[in-house]
Amino acid sequence: MTQVKLTKAFIDGLDPATADRDHVYWDTSMPGFGIRVKPPATMSYVIQYRTAGQSRRMALGKHGRITLEGARKEAKKYLGQVTVGQDPARERAEQRAAPTMKELATDYLERHAVPKKRPASVRDDRSMLNRFILPKLGSRKVNAVTRRDIEGITNSLAAKPYMSNRVRALLSKMFSLAVGWGWRPDNPVSSVAPFAETARERWLREDEIDRLFVVLDGHANQFYANAIRLLLLTGARRSEVLKAEWTQFDLENGLWTKPAHTTKQRRLHHVPLSSEALSLLRTMRGAADNEQRYLFPGRPALKAADDKQSQGQERPLQEIRRFWHEVRRDAGLKDVRLHDLRHTFASHIVSGGVSLPMVGQLLGHTQAATTQRYAHLAVEPLRAASDAFGRKLRRNGSREIDEQGPETAAGQGN
């Protein structure tokens, strides 16, 4: 072991090309700090210390990329950490081995999203990861991501507050899992406020519903038309209708029981059916094959005995958007989405006097706040309550006048 006073002149005189072996020169003015000369062309600043009975060596940087004075400052910092019980070499190794955001995304999808979320939600998550998150944070260590990093992503989507909030929610869930897995101590998203969202309020007026049914009734494809009718008559989600099976329906008692795995809230959902919905379903049931599984099969169930490969291949109808675009164009409803049929169902029954809790049960909402978006439509029940109070005041006022006499009552008004 060679000990010398490390100076710029001494280091400039070292030549790795002429060295016959790997050698470290230790500084006499700072114990534990030195420069390593490694043939044929490398010189690196290093520190060496003991902790827990073990000797550790850690490189600070190559000469040329870091100056002697810069290396001294780094050495002083790390050797100071050693004196208070830290192990900088181990901590650096752990940081290098720490998972990246790309690895967190992979584990999030495999361990959480795919097993627990709907396929459509998984597709949305993949899209947000690939478009907004991984291009900016993919190579970053999970434990090194900061609040500013999160704000950089969410603020870049400020013009699209709904998308920004969905990305924020995805990141929050990912970091919540990372905390549970011991990858970092906190969730950096928790202190990032979401953007205010203005809920899209679009539902069909009665005249628009009439136009829609005129188009549906006159369309050549009544198979697809029935799917649109059922969406509007039940307020169900598109996936619930397209994947509905005949075994879920009790047509005698007018009840649709949605299995937990088919609903967004992952709960069994019992839905009473209107007489109009029942009439439509009975007509469809009468026209369907007795062995038909889905209300809207995506392919015919082939029953040929000699075609074993095709048997049991019935799948639900996957998409009706192209049909819907055609229908809404013909009905003059170009700004109406399929999901707005669900809003239409809810809006009309709320304005008809049905309470918000009951509407929430019909729609399968688990949070009262979700149904609250329709509160401003409950005008008639509020008017009725206000009128009832007004009538009570009128009755009390008349009684008071009768008891006091018109002259006394008039005198009190002066």
255-267 burial, b if ≥16 CB within 10 A, otherwise e? ebebeeebbbeee
Q: What is the mean pLDDT of the chain?
A: 85
Share above pLDDT 70 across residues of the chain, in percent, rounded to a whole number: 85
CB-CB contact of 340 with 238 (8 Å) = no
340 vs 330: CA distance, rounded Å: 17
Q: How far apart are the first and last CA of the chain?
A: 111
CB-CB contact of 334 with 215 (8 Å) = no
Report pLDDT digits (tens) over 86-114: 999 888 887 788 899 999 999 999 999 99
Q: Using alpha carbons, select from 46, 42, 35 the residue that is nearest to residue 75.
A: 46
Report pLDDT digits (tens) over 343-352: 888 887 877 7
Range 365-369 average pLDDT: 62
252 vs 411: CA distance, rounded Å: 68
Contacts of 406 (CB under 8 A, 6+ apart): none
CB-CB contact of 263 with 240 (8 Å) = yes
How much is the pTM? 0.56
CA distances (Å), 299 to each of 294, 316, 367, in order? 10, 8, 37
